[in-house]
Structure 1
Amino acid sequence: MELVSNPDELISTQGYFLPHHCVIKETSSSTKLRPAFNASQGTDLGISLNEVLHSGPKLQTELLDVILRWRCYPIVFTAGIEKMFRRIWIYPEECTYQKILWKSHPDEELNTYCLKTVTFGFASAPYLGIRTLHQLTDDEGNNFPLATDILRNEINVNDFLSGAYEFDTTIEKRRQVSLLLKAGGFILRKWLSNCEDVLQGVLEDYKEKASSYEFTQETIHRALGIL
Protein backbone atom coordinates (compact mmCIF):
# COMPACT_ATOMS: atom_id res chain seq x y z
CA MET A 1 0.00 0.00 0.00
CA GLU A 2 1.02 3.63 -0.44
CA LEU A 3 0.53 6.66 1.80
CA VAL A 4 -1.81 9.30 0.36
CA SER A 5 0.23 12.45 0.95
CA ASN A 6 -1.82 14.89 -1.15
CA PRO A 7 -4.99 16.01 0.73
CA ASP A 8 -6.60 17.05 -2.57
CA GLU A 9 -6.80 13.40 -3.52
CA LEU A 10 -9.23 12.81 -0.63
CA ILE A 11 -11.64 15.50 -1.84
CA SER A 12 -12.29 13.61 -5.07
CA THR A 13 -15.88 12.44 -5.42
CA GLN A 14 -14.57 9.16 -6.80
CA GLY A 15 -13.22 6.71 -4.29
CA TYR A 16 -14.06 4.26 -1.53
CA PHE A 17 -12.79 3.62 1.98
CA LEU A 18 -12.50 -0.07 2.82
CA PRO A 19 -13.52 -1.21 6.29
CA HIS A 20 -11.09 -3.85 7.50
CA HIS A 21 -10.36 -6.02 10.51
CA CYS A 22 -8.08 -8.86 11.49
CA VAL A 23 -8.87 -12.56 11.29
CA ILE A 24 -6.88 -14.93 13.50
CA LYS A 25 -6.56 -18.55 12.41
CA GLU A 26 -4.44 -20.49 14.87
CA THR A 27 -4.51 -23.64 12.72
CA SER A 28 -2.77 -21.93 9.79
CA SER A 29 0.81 -23.09 9.25
CA SER A 30 1.83 -19.90 7.44
CA THR A 31 -0.21 -16.77 8.22
CA LYS A 32 -2.05 -16.92 11.54
CA LEU A 33 -3.25 -13.31 11.34
CA ARG A 34 -4.74 -11.93 8.14
CA PRO A 35 -6.45 -8.67 7.24
CA ALA A 36 -10.03 -8.95 5.97
CA PHE A 37 -11.39 -6.20 3.71
CA ASN A 38 -15.12 -5.58 3.22
CA ALA A 39 -16.04 -3.99 -0.10
CA SER A 40 -19.70 -4.94 0.53
CA GLN A 41 -20.05 -2.31 3.26
CA GLY A 42 -22.61 0.30 2.25
CA THR A 43 -21.69 3.99 2.00
CA ASP A 44 -23.67 7.15 2.83
CA LEU A 45 -25.12 6.79 -0.68
CA GLY A 46 -26.73 3.52 0.37
CA ILE A 47 -24.67 1.30 -1.94
CA SER A 48 -21.39 -0.58 -1.63
CA LEU A 49 -18.50 -0.80 -4.05
CA ASN A 50 -19.21 -4.46 -4.77
CA GLU A 51 -22.75 -3.57 -5.85
CA VAL A 52 -21.46 -1.41 -8.71
CA LEU A 53 -18.32 -3.42 -9.50
CA HIS A 54 -18.27 -5.75 -12.49
CA SER A 55 -17.18 -9.12 -11.09
CA GLY A 56 -16.20 -10.63 -14.44
CA PRO A 57 -17.13 -14.10 -15.75
CA LYS A 58 -16.49 -17.20 -13.67
CA LEU A 59 -13.18 -18.77 -14.68
CA GLN A 60 -12.72 -21.26 -11.85
CA THR A 61 -12.82 -24.96 -12.62
CA GLU A 62 -15.61 -26.57 -10.59
CA LEU A 63 -14.27 -27.76 -7.22
CA LEU A 64 -15.81 -31.20 -7.68
CA ASP A 65 -14.03 -31.60 -11.04
CA VAL A 66 -10.68 -30.62 -9.50
CA ILE A 67 -11.01 -33.10 -6.64
CA LEU A 68 -12.31 -36.01 -8.74
CA ARG A 69 -9.54 -35.57 -11.30
CA TRP A 70 -6.96 -35.45 -8.52
CA ARG A 71 -8.28 -38.65 -6.95
CA CYS A 72 -7.58 -40.53 -10.19
CA TYR A 73 -3.80 -40.06 -9.86
CA PRO A 74 -1.84 -42.69 -7.88
CA ILE A 75 0.96 -40.15 -7.23
CA VAL A 76 -0.27 -36.72 -6.13
CA PHE A 77 0.96 -33.39 -4.85
CA THR A 78 -0.61 -30.12 -3.76
CA ALA A 79 0.61 -26.59 -3.11
CA GLY A 80 -0.73 -23.07 -2.77
CA ILE A 81 0.30 -19.73 -4.25
CA GLU A 82 1.52 -17.53 -1.42
CA LYS A 83 -0.43 -14.26 -1.16
CA MET A 84 -1.56 -14.58 -4.79
CA PHE A 85 -3.73 -11.46 -4.94
CA ARG A 86 -0.99 -9.36 -3.32
CA ARG A 87 1.33 -10.19 -6.22
CA ILE A 88 -0.95 -8.68 -8.86
CA TRP A 89 -0.82 -4.91 -9.41
CA ILE A 90 -3.89 -2.87 -10.30
CA TYR A 91 -3.95 0.28 -12.42
CA PRO A 92 -2.77 3.30 -10.33
CA GLU A 93 -5.90 5.32 -11.17
CA GLU A 94 -8.03 2.59 -9.58
CA CYS A 95 -6.22 2.76 -6.23
CA THR A 96 -8.61 5.49 -5.07
CA TYR A 97 -11.26 2.77 -4.71
CA GLN A 98 -9.02 0.87 -2.32
CA LYS A 99 -8.34 3.43 0.42
CA ILE A 100 -7.99 2.45 4.07
CA LEU A 101 -7.40 4.31 7.31
CA TRP A 102 -4.42 3.04 9.27
CA LYS A 103 -2.04 3.86 12.10
CA SER A 104 0.82 1.72 13.34
CA HIS A 105 0.52 2.81 16.98
CA PRO A 106 -2.44 3.92 19.13
CA ASP A 107 -0.82 7.30 19.78
CA GLU A 108 -0.36 8.11 16.08
CA GLU A 109 -2.72 10.13 13.89
CA LEU A 110 -4.80 8.24 11.36
CA ASN A 111 -3.31 8.18 7.88
CA THR A 112 -4.90 7.31 4.56
CA TYR A 113 -3.33 4.66 2.38
CA CYS A 114 -4.22 3.22 -1.01
CA LEU A 115 -3.91 -0.51 -1.59
CA LYS A 116 -2.01 -1.08 -4.84
CA THR A 117 -2.72 -4.75 -5.53
CA VAL A 118 -5.75 -6.97 -6.10
CA THR A 119 -7.57 -7.21 -2.77
CA PHE A 120 -9.54 -10.19 -1.51
CA GLY A 121 -13.00 -9.00 -0.51
CA PHE A 122 -13.72 -7.40 -3.88
CA ALA A 123 -16.28 -9.08 -6.13
CA SER A 124 -13.75 -8.96 -8.98
CA ALA A 125 -10.82 -10.50 -7.07
CA PRO A 126 -11.35 -14.17 -8.09
CA TYR A 127 -11.71 -13.22 -11.76
CA LEU A 128 -8.63 -10.96 -11.72
CA GLY A 129 -6.52 -13.59 -10.00
CA ILE A 130 -7.41 -16.48 -12.28
CA ARG A 131 -7.39 -14.31 -15.40
CA THR A 132 -3.82 -13.31 -14.54
CA LEU A 133 -2.82 -16.98 -14.26
CA HIS A 134 -4.46 -17.70 -17.61
CA GLN A 135 -2.55 -14.83 -19.18
CA LEU A 136 0.64 -16.25 -17.71
CA THR A 137 -0.06 -19.58 -19.43
CA ASP A 138 -0.70 -17.73 -22.70
CA ASP A 139 2.59 -15.84 -22.41
CA GLU A 140 4.88 -18.57 -21.07
CA GLY A 141 2.94 -21.82 -21.45
CA ASN A 142 4.79 -23.03 -24.53
CA ASN A 143 7.86 -23.50 -22.35
CA PHE A 144 5.94 -25.41 -19.68
CA PRO A 145 3.20 -27.51 -21.34
CA LEU A 146 2.55 -29.77 -18.32
CA ALA A 147 2.12 -26.77 -16.02
CA THR A 148 -0.34 -25.14 -18.42
CA ASP A 149 -2.80 -27.98 -17.86
CA ILE A 150 -2.48 -27.54 -14.08
CA LEU A 151 -3.24 -23.82 -14.17
CA ARG A 152 -6.17 -24.35 -16.52
CA ASN A 153 -7.84 -27.42 -15.04
CA GLU A 154 -6.35 -28.42 -11.68
CA ILE A 155 -6.50 -25.24 -9.62
CA ASN A 156 -9.15 -23.67 -7.41
CA VAL A 157 -8.28 -19.96 -7.04
CA ASN A 158 -4.80 -20.20 -5.46
CA ASP A 159 -4.58 -23.90 -4.47
CA PHE A 160 -3.86 -26.62 -6.99
CA LEU A 161 -4.15 -30.40 -6.76
CA SER A 162 -2.24 -32.38 -9.36
CA GLY A 163 -0.35 -35.58 -9.95
CA ALA A 164 0.43 -38.23 -12.55
CA TYR A 165 0.48 -41.96 -13.21
CA GLU A 166 4.27 -42.24 -13.40
CA PHE A 167 6.87 -40.94 -10.96
CA ASP A 168 9.01 -39.16 -13.58
CA THR A 169 5.98 -37.34 -15.01
CA THR A 170 4.96 -36.23 -11.51
CA ILE A 171 8.41 -34.79 -10.87
CA GLU A 172 8.35 -32.94 -14.20
CA LYS A 173 4.87 -31.51 -13.55
CA ARG A 174 6.00 -30.25 -10.16
CA ARG A 175 9.11 -28.69 -11.69
CA GLN A 176 7.26 -27.02 -14.56
CA VAL A 177 4.49 -25.51 -12.44
CA SER A 178 7.09 -24.01 -10.09
CA LEU A 179 9.00 -22.44 -12.97
CA LEU A 180 5.90 -21.17 -14.78
CA LEU A 181 4.53 -19.45 -11.69
CA LYS A 182 7.97 -18.07 -10.85
CA ALA A 183 7.99 -16.44 -14.30
CA GLY A 184 4.92 -14.48 -13.17
CA GLY A 185 6.35 -13.55 -9.77
CA PHE A 186 4.35 -16.15 -7.85
CA ILE A 187 5.76 -18.33 -5.06
CA LEU A 188 4.46 -21.79 -4.12
CA ARG A 189 4.27 -22.96 -0.51
CA LYS A 190 2.57 -25.67 1.59
CA TRP A 191 3.81 -28.48 -0.63
CA LEU A 192 2.35 -31.91 0.18
CA SER A 193 2.61 -35.28 -1.52
CA ASN A 194 1.80 -38.92 -0.87
CA CYS A 195 5.33 -39.67 -2.12
CA GLU A 196 8.15 -37.92 -0.28
CA ASP A 197 10.54 -38.29 -3.23
CA VAL A 198 8.29 -36.05 -5.34
CA LEU A 199 9.27 -33.11 -3.14
CA GLN A 200 13.01 -33.57 -3.43
CA GLY A 201 14.58 -30.17 -4.05
CA VAL A 202 11.73 -28.23 -2.43
CA LEU A 203 13.00 -26.11 0.46
CA GLU A 204 11.84 -27.31 3.86
CA ASP A 205 10.33 -23.89 4.65
CA TYR A 206 8.14 -24.23 1.56
CA LYS A 207 6.72 -27.61 2.59
CA GLU A 208 3.78 -28.25 4.84
CA LYS A 209 4.97 -29.33 8.28
CA ALA A 210 4.34 -32.97 7.42
CA SER A 211 5.04 -33.28 3.70
CA SER A 212 3.83 -36.84 3.20
CA TYR A 213 0.97 -38.93 4.54
CA GLU A 214 1.51 -42.39 5.98
CA PHE A 215 -1.53 -44.48 6.79
CA THR A 216 0.18 -45.59 10.00
CA GLN A 217 0.18 -42.01 11.29
CA GLU A 218 -2.68 -40.08 12.85
CA THR A 219 -1.76 -36.79 11.16
CA ILE A 220 -4.63 -35.28 9.17
CA HIS A 221 -4.24 -32.86 6.25
CA ARG A 222 -6.81 -30.99 4.24
CA ALA A 223 -6.89 -30.34 0.52
CA LEU A 224 -9.45 -27.59 -0.23
CA GLY A 225 -11.26 -28.53 2.95
CA ILE A 226 -11.40 -32.28 2.22
CA LEU A 227 -9.74 -34.51 4.85
Structure 2
Amino acid sequence: MYRQVNVGTEDSYLQLIVWRDNPNEDLRYYRLKKSHPLASSAIKDFYVGDVMTGSNSLKEAVKIKDDLKTLLQSAGFNLRKWCANHERLLSSIPSKYREVKLSVDDSKDEGVKTLGLTWNPKLDHFRITTIWNEPTEVTKRTVLSDTSRLFDPLGFVNPAITLAKIFLQELWSLKLDWDEAIPMGLHTRWLQFRQELADLNRIRIPRYLETKNATVSLHAFSDASERAYGVVIYLRSVNNHGDIKVTLLCSKSRMAPLKTITLPRLELCAATFWARLTDRVTKILNMDIGSIHYWTDSQIVLAWTQSRPSLFHTFVANRISSIQLRVNKYI
Protein backbone atom coordinates (compact mmCIF):
# COMPACT_ATOMS: atom_id res chain seq x y z
CA MET A 1 0.00 0.00 0.00
CA TYR A 2 2.76 2.48 0.92
CA ARG A 3 4.35 2.04 -2.52
CA GLN A 4 1.40 3.88 -4.07
CA VAL A 5 2.46 7.05 -2.26
CA ASN A 6 4.38 9.53 -4.40
CA VAL A 7 7.97 9.89 -3.15
CA GLY A 8 10.34 12.58 -4.34
CA THR A 9 13.20 11.49 -6.62
CA GLU A 10 15.78 12.52 -4.02
CA ASP A 11 14.13 10.17 -1.47
CA SER A 12 13.39 7.21 -3.74
CA TYR A 13 16.64 5.41 -2.76
CA LEU A 14 15.16 5.02 0.75
CA GLN A 15 12.60 2.56 -0.68
CA LEU A 16 14.86 0.35 -2.76
CA ILE A 17 13.74 -3.22 -3.46
CA VAL A 18 16.51 -5.78 -2.92
CA TRP A 19 15.92 -8.97 -4.89
CA ARG A 20 17.45 -12.19 -6.19
CA ASP A 21 15.82 -15.36 -7.54
CA ASN A 22 18.06 -17.78 -5.62
CA PRO A 23 20.76 -17.57 -2.93
CA ASN A 24 23.56 -18.05 -5.48
CA GLU A 25 22.77 -14.87 -7.43
CA ASP A 26 24.10 -11.43 -6.64
CA LEU A 27 21.70 -9.00 -5.05
CA ARG A 28 19.85 -6.68 -7.44
CA TYR A 29 18.57 -3.26 -6.36
CA TYR A 30 15.44 -1.71 -7.85
CA ARG A 31 14.32 1.88 -7.41
CA LEU A 32 10.61 2.64 -7.75
CA LYS A 33 9.60 4.85 -10.65
CA LYS A 34 6.35 6.68 -11.28
CA SER A 35 4.51 4.98 -14.13
CA HIS A 36 1.93 7.76 -14.49
CA PRO A 37 3.65 11.10 -13.87
CA LEU A 38 0.56 13.23 -14.65
CA ALA A 39 -1.67 11.13 -12.41
CA SER A 40 0.95 11.11 -9.68
CA SER A 41 0.95 14.90 -9.83
CA ALA A 42 -2.85 15.00 -9.62
CA ILE A 43 -2.83 12.82 -6.50
CA LYS A 44 -1.92 15.91 -4.46
CA ASP A 45 -5.27 17.43 -5.54
CA PHE A 46 -7.16 14.91 -3.41
CA TYR A 47 -8.91 16.10 -0.27
CA VAL A 48 -10.25 13.16 1.74
CA GLY A 49 -12.23 11.23 -0.92
CA ASP A 50 -12.65 13.99 -3.50
CA VAL A 51 -10.24 15.00 -6.23
CA MET A 52 -10.50 18.30 -8.08
CA THR A 53 -7.93 18.79 -10.79
CA GLY A 54 -7.62 20.03 -14.35
CA SER A 55 -5.38 21.34 -17.10
CA ASN A 56 -5.03 24.24 -19.53
CA SER A 57 -5.36 21.83 -22.49
CA LEU A 58 -8.07 19.26 -23.24
CA LYS A 59 -5.49 16.73 -24.46
CA GLU A 60 -3.58 16.83 -21.19
CA ALA A 61 -6.81 16.77 -19.14
CA VAL A 62 -7.87 13.56 -20.92
CA LYS A 63 -4.44 12.07 -20.23
CA ILE A 64 -4.67 12.99 -16.53
CA LYS A 65 -8.13 11.44 -16.32
CA ASP A 66 -7.06 8.19 -18.00
CA ASP A 67 -3.84 7.85 -16.00
CA LEU A 68 -5.56 8.69 -12.72
CA LYS A 69 -8.25 6.13 -13.39
CA THR A 70 -5.70 3.43 -14.34
CA LEU A 71 -3.40 4.19 -11.42
CA LEU A 72 -6.12 3.99 -8.77
CA GLN A 73 -7.86 0.99 -10.34
CA SER A 74 -4.58 -0.94 -10.13
CA ALA A 75 -4.88 -0.64 -6.35
CA GLY A 76 -8.59 -1.46 -6.25
CA PHE A 77 -9.87 2.13 -6.05
CA ASN A 78 -12.65 2.83 -8.55
CA LEU A 79 -13.36 6.52 -8.92
CA ARG A 80 -17.03 7.45 -9.06
CA LYS A 81 -19.23 10.53 -9.48
CA TRP A 82 -17.16 11.85 -12.37
CA CYS A 83 -18.01 15.37 -13.45
CA ALA A 84 -16.31 17.62 -16.01
CA ASN A 85 -16.91 20.73 -18.10
CA HIS A 86 -16.22 18.97 -21.42
CA GLU A 87 -18.08 15.98 -22.84
CA ARG A 88 -14.89 14.33 -24.13
CA LEU A 89 -13.62 13.95 -20.59
CA LEU A 90 -16.71 11.88 -19.74
CA SER A 91 -17.08 9.91 -22.99
CA SER A 92 -15.23 6.84 -21.67
CA ILE A 93 -16.86 6.93 -18.22
CA PRO A 94 -19.88 4.58 -17.80
CA SER A 95 -23.04 6.43 -16.82
CA LYS A 96 -23.20 4.59 -13.49
CA TYR A 97 -19.88 6.18 -12.50
CA ARG A 98 -20.91 9.72 -13.49
CA GLU A 99 -22.49 12.35 -11.29
CA VAL A 100 -26.22 11.82 -11.77
CA LYS A 101 -28.65 14.56 -12.85
CA LEU A 102 -25.82 16.58 -14.35
CA SER A 103 -24.86 17.29 -17.94
CA VAL A 104 -22.32 19.63 -19.54
CA ASP A 105 -25.01 20.53 -22.08
CA ASP A 106 -27.44 21.64 -19.39
CA SER A 107 -27.69 25.44 -19.22
CA LYS A 108 -29.55 25.34 -15.92
CA ASP A 109 -27.70 26.69 -12.93
CA GLU A 110 -27.33 23.32 -11.26
CA GLY A 111 -24.13 21.80 -10.01
CA VAL A 112 -22.26 19.18 -8.06
CA LYS A 113 -21.37 19.79 -4.43
CA THR A 114 -17.86 19.19 -3.21
CA LEU A 115 -16.04 20.50 -0.15
CA GLY A 116 -18.96 22.77 0.70
CA LEU A 117 -19.08 24.46 -2.71
CA THR A 118 -21.37 23.93 -5.68
CA TRP A 119 -19.69 23.82 -9.10
CA ASN A 120 -21.66 24.25 -12.32
CA PRO A 121 -19.78 22.41 -15.10
CA LYS A 122 -21.60 24.16 -17.96
CA LEU A 123 -21.18 27.72 -16.71
CA ASP A 124 -17.92 26.79 -14.93
CA HIS A 125 -18.45 28.76 -11.76
CA PHE A 126 -18.67 28.17 -8.02
CA ARG A 127 -21.55 29.21 -5.82
CA ILE A 128 -22.65 28.88 -2.24
CA THR A 129 -25.85 26.91 -1.71
CA THR A 130 -27.79 27.42 1.51
CA ILE A 131 -31.35 26.50 2.47
CA TRP A 132 -32.86 28.40 5.36
CA ASN A 133 -36.03 27.24 7.08
CA GLU A 134 -38.11 29.47 9.32
CA PRO A 135 -36.65 29.15 12.85
CA THR A 136 -38.96 28.08 15.66
CA GLU A 137 -36.79 29.88 18.25
CA VAL A 138 -33.60 31.90 18.46
CA THR A 139 -31.09 30.83 21.09
CA LYS A 140 -27.33 30.64 21.32
CA ARG A 141 -27.58 27.02 20.20
CA THR A 142 -29.62 27.78 17.06
CA VAL A 143 -27.39 30.74 16.15
CA LEU A 144 -24.31 28.53 16.40
CA SER A 145 -26.05 25.87 14.32
CA ASP A 146 -26.95 28.38 11.59
CA THR A 147 -23.44 29.83 11.58
CA SER A 148 -21.89 26.37 11.23
CA ARG A 149 -23.98 25.75 8.12
CA LEU A 150 -22.14 28.56 6.36
CA PHE A 151 -19.27 26.33 5.26
CA ASP A 152 -17.09 28.28 2.89
CA PRO A 153 -13.55 26.82 2.69
CA LEU A 154 -12.24 29.39 0.19
CA GLY A 155 -13.82 32.39 1.88
CA PHE A 156 -15.95 33.57 -1.03
CA VAL A 157 -18.60 34.91 1.36
CA ASN A 158 -16.32 35.53 4.32
CA PRO A 159 -17.78 38.98 5.18
CA ALA A 160 -21.17 37.41 5.84
CA ILE A 161 -19.69 34.62 7.93
CA THR A 162 -17.66 37.16 9.92
CA LEU A 163 -20.82 39.10 10.77
CA ALA A 164 -22.40 35.87 12.03
CA LYS A 165 -19.35 35.16 14.20
CA ILE A 166 -19.42 38.69 15.60
CA PHE A 167 -23.07 38.19 16.55
CA LEU A 168 -22.23 34.88 18.21
CA GLN A 169 -19.42 36.55 20.14
CA GLU A 170 -21.90 39.14 21.43
CA LEU A 171 -24.16 36.34 22.68
CA TRP A 172 -21.19 34.68 24.35
CA SER A 173 -20.32 37.87 26.22
CA LEU A 174 -23.87 37.94 27.65
CA LYS A 175 -23.22 34.57 29.35
CA LEU A 176 -26.54 33.15 28.19
CA ASP A 177 -27.43 29.48 28.53
CA TRP A 178 -27.50 27.47 25.32
CA ASP A 179 -31.29 27.25 25.13
CA GLU A 180 -32.14 30.57 26.76
CA ALA A 181 -34.06 33.08 24.65
CA ILE A 182 -31.85 35.97 23.55
CA PRO A 183 -32.77 39.66 24.14
CA MET A 184 -35.43 41.06 21.79
CA GLY A 185 -33.07 43.52 20.09
CA LEU A 186 -30.60 40.78 19.19
CA HIS A 187 -33.48 38.47 18.26
CA THR A 188 -34.72 40.96 15.66
CA ARG A 189 -31.19 41.61 14.36
CA TRP A 190 -30.54 37.91 13.83
CA LEU A 191 -33.81 37.25 12.03
CA GLN A 192 -33.11 40.17 9.69
CA PHE A 193 -29.56 38.96 9.06
CA ARG A 194 -30.77 35.41 8.54
CA GLN A 195 -33.27 36.59 5.97
CA GLU A 196 -30.54 38.43 4.06
CA LEU A 197 -28.36 35.30 4.00
CA ALA A 198 -30.63 33.88 1.28
CA ASP A 199 -28.96 36.35 -1.10
CA LEU A 200 -25.72 34.36 -0.82
CA ASN A 201 -27.24 31.88 -3.28
CA ARG A 202 -27.03 34.58 -5.97
CA ILE A 203 -23.23 34.92 -5.78
CA ARG A 204 -21.20 33.31 -8.58
CA ILE A 205 -17.40 32.95 -8.59
CA PRO A 206 -15.63 31.93 -11.84
CA ARG A 207 -13.49 28.83 -11.44
CA TYR A 208 -11.07 29.30 -14.33
CA LEU A 209 -7.91 31.30 -13.72
CA GLU A 210 -6.60 33.11 -16.81
CA THR A 211 -2.92 32.11 -16.58
CA LYS A 212 -2.05 30.63 -19.98
CA ASN A 213 0.15 33.00 -22.04
CA ALA A 214 -0.39 35.69 -19.43
CA THR A 215 1.60 37.67 -16.89
CA VAL A 216 0.32 36.72 -13.45
CA SER A 217 0.53 38.64 -10.18
CA LEU A 218 -0.96 38.10 -6.73
CA HIS A 219 -2.45 40.93 -4.66
CA ALA A 220 -3.06 40.33 -0.95
CA PHE A 221 -5.04 42.87 1.10
CA SER A 222 -5.26 42.89 4.88
CA ASP A 223 -7.36 45.00 7.23
CA ALA A 224 -8.56 44.99 10.81
CA SER A 225 -11.18 46.48 13.08
CA GLU A 226 -11.81 46.20 16.79
CA ARG A 227 -14.11 43.23 16.09
CA ALA A 228 -12.24 41.16 13.50
CA TYR A 229 -9.39 41.10 11.02
CA GLY A 230 -8.84 39.35 7.72
CA VAL A 231 -7.12 39.03 4.38
CA VAL A 232 -8.24 38.56 0.78
CA ILE A 233 -6.11 37.44 -2.18
CA TYR A 234 -6.76 38.20 -5.84
CA LEU A 235 -5.02 36.88 -8.94
CA ARG A 236 -4.44 39.46 -11.68
CA SER A 237 -3.52 38.29 -15.17
CA VAL A 238 -2.64 40.24 -18.32
CA ASN A 239 -2.68 38.27 -21.57
CA ASN A 240 -0.75 38.93 -24.79
CA HIS A 241 -3.48 41.29 -26.03
CA GLY A 242 -3.31 43.43 -22.90
CA ASP A 243 -6.64 42.19 -21.56
CA ILE A 244 -6.75 42.27 -17.76
CA LYS A 245 -8.66 39.80 -15.60
CA VAL A 246 -8.87 39.86 -11.81
CA THR A 247 -10.18 36.80 -9.96
CA LEU A 248 -10.93 36.29 -6.28
CA LEU A 249 -8.80 33.40 -5.04
CA CYS A 250 -9.61 33.15 -1.35
CA SER A 251 -10.04 35.03 1.89
CA LYS A 252 -9.72 34.29 5.57
CA SER A 253 -10.77 36.11 8.72
CA ARG A 254 -10.47 35.78 12.47
CA MET A 255 -12.28 37.32 15.37
CA ALA A 256 -10.56 39.83 17.58
CA PRO A 257 -10.26 38.45 21.13
CA LEU A 258 -12.62 39.69 23.81
CA LYS A 259 -9.60 41.01 25.65
CA THR A 260 -8.93 44.49 24.28
CA ILE A 261 -5.99 44.75 21.87
CA THR A 262 -4.90 48.00 20.25
CA LEU A 263 -5.89 48.51 16.63
CA PRO A 264 -2.27 48.66 15.35
CA ARG A 265 -1.62 45.26 16.91
CA LEU A 266 -4.74 43.86 15.27
CA GLU A 267 -3.56 45.32 11.96
CA LEU A 268 -0.25 43.52 12.56
CA CYS A 269 -2.12 40.27 13.22
CA ALA A 270 -3.92 40.76 9.90
CA ALA A 271 -0.61 41.38 8.13
CA THR A 272 0.83 38.20 9.65
CA PHE A 273 -2.25 36.39 8.43
CA TRP A 274 -1.77 37.69 4.89
CA ALA A 275 1.89 36.73 4.79
CA ARG A 276 1.08 33.17 5.84
CA LEU A 277 -1.89 32.77 3.51
CA THR A 278 -0.06 34.25 0.51
CA ASP A 279 2.88 31.93 1.09
CA ARG A 280 0.55 28.94 1.20
CA VAL A 281 -1.44 30.00 -1.87
CA THR A 282 1.77 30.53 -3.85
CA LYS A 283 2.90 26.98 -3.10
CA ILE A 284 -0.51 25.50 -3.95
CA LEU A 285 -0.84 27.35 -7.28
CA ASN A 286 2.54 25.97 -8.40
CA MET A 287 2.79 28.38 -11.33
CA ASP A 288 5.09 31.13 -12.53
CA ILE A 289 3.96 34.24 -10.63
CA GLY A 290 5.52 37.43 -11.92
CA SER A 291 5.05 39.50 -8.77
CA ILE A 292 3.36 39.48 -5.38
CA HIS A 293 1.91 42.66 -3.89
CA TYR A 294 0.99 43.11 -0.23
CA TRP A 295 -1.47 45.88 0.63
CA THR A 296 -2.32 47.42 4.00
CA ASP A 297 -3.59 50.87 4.99
CA SER A 298 -1.68 50.83 8.28
CA GLN A 299 1.41 53.04 8.22
CA ILE A 300 2.41 51.64 11.61
CA VAL A 301 2.46 48.07 10.28
CA LEU A 302 4.48 49.15 7.25
CA ALA A 303 7.04 50.76 9.56
CA TRP A 304 7.14 47.71 11.85
CA THR A 305 7.71 45.24 9.01
CA GLN A 306 10.74 47.25 7.82
CA SER A 307 12.34 47.26 11.28
CA ARG A 308 14.42 44.76 13.20
CA PRO A 309 12.21 42.50 15.38
CA SER A 310 14.64 42.79 18.30
CA LEU A 311 13.60 46.42 18.80
CA PHE A 312 10.12 45.45 20.00
CA HIS A 313 8.39 43.47 22.71
CA THR A 314 7.60 39.80 22.15
CA PHE A 315 4.08 40.20 20.71
CA VAL A 316 5.16 42.57 17.94
CA ALA A 317 8.63 41.04 17.44
CA ASN A 318 7.29 37.52 16.80
CA ARG A 319 4.84 38.73 14.18
CA ILE A 320 7.39 40.93 12.43
CA SER A 321 9.73 37.93 12.20
CA SER A 322 6.92 35.77 10.78
CA ILE A 323 6.08 38.37 8.13
CA GLN A 324 9.69 39.01 7.12
CA LEU A 325 10.42 35.28 6.92
CA ARG A 326 7.63 34.74 4.39
CA VAL A 327 7.70 38.00 2.46
CA ASN A 328 11.44 38.51 1.98
CA LYS A 329 11.88 35.31 -0.04
CA TYR A 330 9.63 36.76 -2.77
CA ILE A 331 11.45 40.07 -2.96
**TM-score, normalisation: structure 2:** 0.26
**Structure ID, larger Rg:** 2
Higher relative contact order (CA 8 A, sep 6+): 1
Q: Which structure's residues are more often helix, by fraction?
A: 2
**TM-score, normalisation: structure 1:** 0.38
